[in-house]
Amino acid sequence: MTPAFFDTLRTPWLWLLVIIVASFPGWLSSYHLGIAILALLYVSLALAWNIVGGMAGQISLAHTVFIGMGAVVATALNLRLGLNLWFGLVLCAFGAAILGIFLALLDSRFRLAHLSFALITLAFAEIGELVVTGSDFLGGASGLYYPKAAGGLAQFNFGGSTGYLFAALVLALVCLLVNNAILASPLGFYLRALRDNENAAQAIGIPILRNRAVAMAISAALSSVVGTLYARYLGFVDPTQLASPTLVIEIVLIATIGGLGTPWGPLVAAAVLVPAGELLRGKFGGVLPGLHYFLYGVLIIVVVLTSPEGLVPRLASLLQAVRRKAGETP
Amino acid sequence: MDTLLLQTLIQGLLIGGAYALIAIGMCLTYNVSGIVNFAHGDFLTLGMFIAFGLQGAAALDPYISVAITLPLLAVLGALTYQYLLRPVARSHALVIIQLTLGLSFVLQNGLLMIFGGQPVRTPSAVEASILVIGDLFIRTPQLIAFSTSLTLTLVLFVVLGYTETGRRIRAVHQNPQAAALMGIDVPRVRTLTFAAGIGILAISGALLLPGTTIWPAQGLRFTVITLMALILGGMTDFAGVYIGALVIGVAEAVGTVYVAGTTGMILPYAIFILVLLLRPNGLFGRAT
Amino acid sequence: MLRIEGLTAAYDGPPALSNVSLHVEKGEILGLLGANNSGKSTLINCISGLVRPLAGRISFEGTDITRLKPHERVASGIVQVPEGRQVFPKMSVIENLLLGGTSRAARLQRGTRLDQVLALFPRLAERRPQPAGTLSGGEQQMLAIGRALMSGPRLLMLDEPSLGLSPLFVQIIFKALGELNKQGLTILLIEQNLTLTLAYAGRGVVLERGQVAIEGARDMLKDDPRTRAAYLGL
């Protein structure tokens, strides 16, 4: 691990945040606790996606399949075959990784343009949704329901909201650390080189397939794990929610609004937008369903037109400008 | 030939024809702007919902309310191109994808907020009408959709190939700089063509509406179908795109009839992935 | 006829043109000379409106055209034959020519002008229905010029018309240009070929790294050693 990685670990802000979040069960209502859990799950999803979308610079809409794998397949294996969810989690993460590598293989073998890659991943996502809704084993169109919470941690049951909050927090931290680890490593460097100028990177000998496949595999596996936790937390799997392209588009939008340059972009964006969205949904959801999605859409349009690098970098540079101004007035 | 197969093929061709018009719309918008609009299907859905709304509010048959939805969508298309897409036309592909995905979300959820999430149907005078030829059943709305789309596509083809306006559009597509030097107002041509491409969706919407259920989130599905048709057909050629759409339609019909349930719908996507990988320039393999 | 004052233009980076001023007299052939990347193309693209200058003024026949859009400049009578011909490859010769006269004003005279162009370049008449992309370089150049003439230009600007052409075609084309000039067409000619340009142009302006290095009548330029020096980047 390079020094840069440990620098992140030493960031006081990060640990402050972790402590604050960990204290939530003490003073947040269960409704707000639920929102926090959801936010953390989305932070994890956004960070997992960022490995491919931000660092490798590839718009993958196939992540629905990875998330769905962890959510639907693991659940199905548990409910239908009695397979312990921890095993299911690992198995599905592995399966998702294989699928991710397969996609990276397709991309490299056929030298797909960004658009073609996005379309193929979208086609995979659509196929994935059709496979799920068409299979009774996987729950079909009606989904899968967990029977009332049985067993303890060994059965992947985290108990009440507190348990899931900690689980989601740990997972979010893991995703953040993985992001930073990659960023500070040769892999991260290669990915960004490939992202910024594929031809030049190739010319100096950076292997495309190996790096992208690794990134995809990690991203897919992480997404799958989050999927499993998400499903277990909700207690049921709704294929139109967890296996549909809408989910990954939502993640793409959130990550992009935050800014794809660093992990902090998707993290902050998810941490802010998801609770905001949920609160909006709570207030207006009955009258105006989809309001928060509508606003995400408006927000991304505004961001793309005014600050295409994302809001977090924009805010960061504003802060810097302010600090500089403050420093300039002696 | 086995009746079921024939019926399925005909069904596929008819629905493919309806898809084709949608794809032609995108062919226009893509070729003059260079932008793949991921919200294309959502504009279609918007048109369909407006028609649905007009039906409910003013008892206007969808075939007639086209007179309202067409200009409405055309203007919306022009505004979208002018203010949202033109500023980013030269940006990275990712940026454009994100922008149009965002637009898709806006349209989709705007409709959701207004109409709610339940699927709805628009009753129409022709929806129950069926044509019987021997052992074959042909639903009249589908026949109308097919013939209208074919006719309209031919008309557009002739306009593009043999009129002054069409020539100018082709010039802008082939070499925008040279076109500007000819005294062609390139931004205006682009805006108008984009508007036309979206306006066509109003017609497609009216053709698809009778007898089908619609819901706000269906846009993406149509966008994907359109993109598949476009890629199969080679992106630029009307004839290719039309045939591409027919292939998708037939694949969809064959898939759903011969493989039970929703799994059959996988066939078009599977074919698409294969073609995109093996023949990235489309079924007709013309390198641009 | 055309007056340029203090024109400065840049793409992302150092200026391609710095404070360039020159004028084109009505009825003359002005040669715009200079080595590669000296700013010649940028200059006529500014005149055509394809490049927006950072500073400066362009006026044509007394009117300030700096703010006009490209298609409006064509309507004013300023027409460019771009570098590399830039014909519409998938369209036929005839379609290319018709497009040349596509602007509203030009359409009124299109029939007449088409006959004139085909008379000027009989080769094009022979190739009427052929796709422009299948023509030889020289024929494409004829087509590009013919296309430009269809707009009824008062100022015709050509960017390196002799590039890649055989000497025979160069002769045919420049003879035609000479004819047109005698009939009253003002021409602004960019050419790398110094000798060729000075054979036809009455006056010349030499650009060096985006600035006007020398300006003067043909004979003066011919004898001035600085002209060749500017080309060699000395």
Over residues A242-260, the pLDDT tens digits come to: 888 889 988 988 888 888 8
For the domain with range B3-278, which CATH number is right: 1.10.3470, 1.10.10, 2.120.10, 2.30.30?
1.10.3470
Q: Is the dihedral of CA A218, A235, A34, A130 positive or negative?
A: positive
Give phi and psi for B51, each to the nearest 5: -60, -40
Domain spanning C1-77+154-165+185-234, CATH class: alpha beta
ipTM score of complex? 0.86
Q: What is the crossing angle of helices A161-183 and A12-27, to 10°?
A: 170
Q: Which of B92, B101, B270 sits opposite A249 (nearest CB)?
A: B101
pLDDT in tens, B233-274: 888 888 899 999 999 999 988 888 888 767 788 888 888 888
User: Using a CB-CB distance cutoff of 8 angstroms, which residues of chain A are in contact with residue B98?
Assistant: 59, 252-253, 256, 300, 304
The boundaries of the domain holding residue A199 are 3-271
Please give the average per-residue pLDDT across B39-47, as a whole number. Answer: 95
Looking at the DSSP bridge assignments, the partners of residue C214 are C206
Residue type at position B106: V
| Least Cα separation, residue B8 to chain A (angstroms) | 21
Please give the average per-residue pLDDT across A305-323, as a whole number. Answer: 82
Q: Domain with A79 in it: what CATH number?
A: 1.10.3470
Say what percent of chain B tops pLDDT 90: 46
Please give the average per-residue pLDDT across A251-271, as a whole number. Answer: 87
- C-alpha to C-alpha distance for B32 and B49, rounded to whole angstroms: 27
Looking at the DSSP bridge assignments, the partners of residue B139 are B130
Is B240 strand, coil or helix? Answer: helix
- For the record, the structure tokens of C141 come out as 């150049």
Determine, yes or no, domain membership for A92.
Answer: yes
- C-alpha to C-alpha distance for C54 and B256, rounded to whole angstroms: 61
Q: Which of B261, B262, B280 sits opposite A116 (nearest CB)?
A: B280
By DSSP bridging, strand C186-190 and strand C63-64 are unpaired
Report domain extents, chain C. Answer: 1-77+154-165+185-234, 86-152
Q: Would the CB atoms of B178 and C74 count as touching at under 8 Å? A: no
By CA distance, what is C146's nearest residue in B? B182
Decide: C155 and C77 in contact? Cβ < 8 Å. yes
Decide: A134 and A140 in contact? Cβ < 8 Å. yes
Q: Would the CB atoms of A294 and B262 count as touching at under 8 Å? A: no
Phi/psi-derived region of residue B86, left when phi > 0, alpha when psi is between -120 and 50, beta in every other case? alpha
Residue type at position B176: P
Residue A92 clears pLDDT 50, i.e. is over it = yes
Confidence at residue B101, expressed as pLDDT on a 0 to 100 scale: 92
- Number of structural domains (chain A) is 1
The residue ranking higher by pLDDT, B94 or C94, is C94
User: Using a CB-CB distance cutoff of 8 angstroms, which residues of chain B are in contact with residue A246?
Assistant: 217, 220
Is C207 strand, coil or helix? Answer: strand
